[in-house]
Amino acid sequence: MNGQKFRCTIEIAGIPAEICCFRKENRDFFKDYLSDRAPLFTVEPSTDDLERMRQTMDRLADYEGRPRAQHSPVLLESNAIHELLAEKLAGYNILMLHGSALSMDGEAYIFTAPSGTGKSTHARLWRETFGNRVIMINDDKPLLKITDSCVFVYGTPWDGKHHLSCNCCAPLKAIVRLSRSTVNHIEPMDKAGGFLTLMEQVYLSKDPVNKTRILTMINIIVHLSDFYHLGCTMAPETAMYVWNYIHEENRNVREE
């Protein structure tokens, strides 16, 4: 690794941060998030961070029964930046989540599930069904920012294999956990179910202080947000089915 470093200041989830990296590709990665604001902190991966990323990815491959891959230095550094940024943002009430997030009529919906279940496919059904009423916030790793009375969903440049995202935000309407089914069915999740759903999909720090912060944020999100479990077929009518159910269910709650 040569000694040249590439720097830029970004604004992500409303927080300005300096990124310092060895790979120009990773500086250019943030082109849609550049900012002139004074950064609150610097993210600068070390060679130890890159090695830690490589070991983490190898362990995941072993766990999933896949052959270990040769990871490019650019990918290792990008993943290290992602993790270091998640650590820093936790101190600003911002949580990294694995899921597909979209905005529909100005409100955010997040679909979560284990990899390969169909989050991106379900989000695509919403785009095909509702057209320009839908904006993709992020198709893989959105951010949740907690305020006193609301949770906002923000985009990031880590946006999955289809590269669907924008530098935007919307207030969170609902989090929907997906599973495959032969028949569409959806039901509300209780707070315990919502807590477990987030625990499975958030970035969870190993640092005791940040881990406590993240657990506190999860509790707040569970109490401020609606959670649903969706068993779905991925048929075209599924998006309308989910939309109608959530809005009818919310209307019934308001009328009680």
Highest mean pLDDT among 59-63, 68-72, 139-143, 148-152: 139-143
Distance CA 14, CA 145 (A): 9
Q: Which domains are seen in the chain, by residue range?
A: 6-92 (no CATH), 95-255 (3.90.228.20)
pLDDT of 128 > 70? The answer is yes
Q: Is the pLDDT reported for residue 256 higher than 80? A: no
- Report the pLDDT averaged over residues 104-126: 91
Q: Which residues pair with 43 in a beta bridge?
A: 19
User: In the predicted model, is pLDDT for residue 222 greater than 50?
Assistant: yes
Angle between helix 73-89 and helix 47-64 axes, rounded to 10 deg:
100
- Provide the token pair at 34: 């550049």
Q: Mean of the pLDDT values across residues 56-66?
A: 87
Which two structure tokens, joined as six digits, stand for 244? 């109608």
Q: Output the average pLDDT for the chain.
A: 93
β-sheet bridge partners, residue 138: 101, 165
User: What is d(CA 117, CA 45) in angstroms, rounded to the nearest whole number?
Assistant: 32
Q: Any idea what the Cα angle at residue 225 is, between residues 143 and 10, rounded to 5°?
A: 15
What is the rounded distance in angstroms from the CA atom of residue 60 to the CA atom of residue 68? Answer: 9
What pLDDT is attached to residue 252? 54
**Closest to 107 (Cα-Cα) out of 255, 253, 243, 254:** 243
pLDDT score at 116: 77
What is the chain's length?
A: 256
Q: Which is nearest to 106 in space by CA: 170, 155, 52?
A: 170
